[in-house]
Amino acid sequence: MSEKYRGLSPAEFFHRNKEIAGFSNPSRALYQTVRELVENSLDATETHGILPYIDVEVRLHEDRPEWVTLRVADNGIGIPAHEIPNVFGRVFYGSKYVVRQTRGVFGLGVKMAVLYAQMTTGKPIYVKSSTRDSDVVGEYLLYIDISRNIPHVQKMRIKKKNKNWHGTIVRLTLEGAWLQSKKRIEDYIRRTALISPYATIRYRSPDGELLFERVSKELPEPPQIGKYHPKGVDIEILKDLIRRSNNNDMTLAGFLEKYFEGVGEKIAQEFLTWAGFQPDTKVKELKLADLEKLATAMKNFPKWRRPRPLTLSPLGSELLKKGVKSILKPEFATAVIRPPSSYGGHAFIVEAAIAYGGEIPPQDNVLLLRFANKMPLLYDEGVDVSRKIVDSIDWSIYKIKFPAPVAVVTHVCSTKIPFKGVGKEAIADVPELEHELEIAIRDVARRLRIYLSKLEKMYEVKRKEVTIRKYMGEVSSSLAYVLNMDPNSISSLLEELLKKELEKKEVTVNA
């Protein structure tokens, strides 16, 4: 009996392997759907200079409590009406396949949510959207044709826009374990508000409503679309760039200068001489063996400049501190941003913050809040590089004695986050990244130690004051008897001396 062979479309592959995209069970699937929709909304706003307003609503079905309807609305740039079906109904289709920091990178997240809804409830996704410069609003009900990986539009309406609204509204119904996932979803919304202090997020659920008002109107500098770095290319990238050049006369030197980050005329000539290529060779003449040699040489050439951080959008220490103070409400908080670095030709920036006291509950270990490209990471903490570093630190060096009310926040932004899986919940321990994270965490920890040292000195001053005041009356009476003076005068004199001494010590503590 002969075997039968056929191919799988991307949609069919993820339909069969939903676990690798984070949709392993109804609890995780509901959380993942909330996450994908909220992150799309934030990318559609802040990346384009719009202060985000995100409205998230979770409703349970009246007759089927295991069915959950999720609605997310934003005030972003919107989606052109003719693109809506492909954006929501075709796996690996989107606007994020460029060299630029974004939350989503696979073109999969929201489509996986649509697939999961189809698999569990059979309900289509509802999408309403309009761009800023459009005079129409597009509304769609659609499925994904799994076998062909194309959208199947059930209903469509294009209507004239009667007010200056722009943004996107998405609603879908899926099978979700609300009771098991509600704590995780609320944590996700809170942490999103922390890392996006310029956003207003309204969250409504069967348990009530939460409103996180923006605490800043300052947006981070949006990332720019960049070029590939020479160290981050392979043979297929080279072939694709040559195809896109569409120029039969382009030389190898001109190709490097036009399509790669940090490559000018001088360094292009130096590299080609080092690698054994003629600068005036036409790129269309390169054979596969030439491309393999070129890709290998580009990865190994030691004199490339570091990739510039133009493609990145870090939060910045002040905004990060505002977010930490707004959500964690500590008595002390500080944040730091590290200089740009790179791994494998990919630029990255690390930020870290530490918070102590206030409303942070004492715990037997450091409370760790992890973020990647402004995305909260809630699952798989045990295998994340940040947890590895935090657990390796002797916190007693920084005057932390557990249980202690201390939280550490880490944020990595990059054009390519080295996630450990498609679920995008844990960052791998890449040496360059691990090094920068440890420096940042120890930096903020030292600042906390300085604060706690000052606090100890202040408490010591207060203890001395209490002790002195305890015996001041008796000393005043004795001195008045010996000196034959009014006890009240002695008390006033001692009070003045004590006040001066305390002021002197307070200046020392606050220095």
The binding site for ATP comprises 40, 74, 95-96, 104-111, 424
Tokens 């491309």 -> residue:
291
Nearest CA to 381 out of 372, 366, 373, 369 is that of 369
Could you give the dihedral angle defined by the CA atoms of residues 174, 177, 178 and 182, in that order, rounded to the nearest 10 degrees?
Answer: -110
Residue 415's identity, in one-letter code, is: T
Residues whose CB is less than 8 angstroms from the CB of residue 234 and which lie 6 or more positions away in sequence, other chains included: 295
CA distance 138 to 30: 26
> Three-class SS of residue 277?
coil
Tokens 């969250």 -> residue:
203
Residue 332: count of CB within 10 angstroms of its CB: 17
Cα dist. 87→47, 93, 119, 140 in Å?
18, 6, 19, 12
Annotated binding-site residue numbers: 40, 74, 95-96, 104-111, 424
Nearest CA to 422 out of 23, 148, 15, 145 is that of 23
Q: Where are the alpha helices (DSSP H) in 265-413?
A: 265-275, 288-300, 317-328, 385-392
DSSP 396: G
CA distance 86 to 151: 6
8 A C-beta contact, residue 403 and residue 364: yes
Radius of gyration of the chain (CA): 30
CA distance 18 to 25: 9
Cα dist. 500→286, 460, 462, 495, 506 in Å?
83, 16, 14, 9, 10
Residue 183's identity, in one-letter code, is: K
DSSP 344: T
Paired tokens of 344: 């494998």
CA distance 3 to 163: 59
Q: Hey, CA dihedral for 434, 437, 439, 442, is it positive or negative?
A: negative
Q: What DSSP string describes 94-139?
A: SS--SBS--S--SS-HHHHHHHHHHHHT-PPEEEEEE-TT-SEEEE
Residues whose CB is less than 8 angstroms from the CB of residue 190 and which lie 6 or more positions away in sequence, other chains included: 210, 212, 327
8 A C-beta contact, residue 260 and residue 229: yes
8 A C-beta contact, residue 354 and residue 407: yes
Residue 240: count of CB within 10 angstroms of its CB: 12
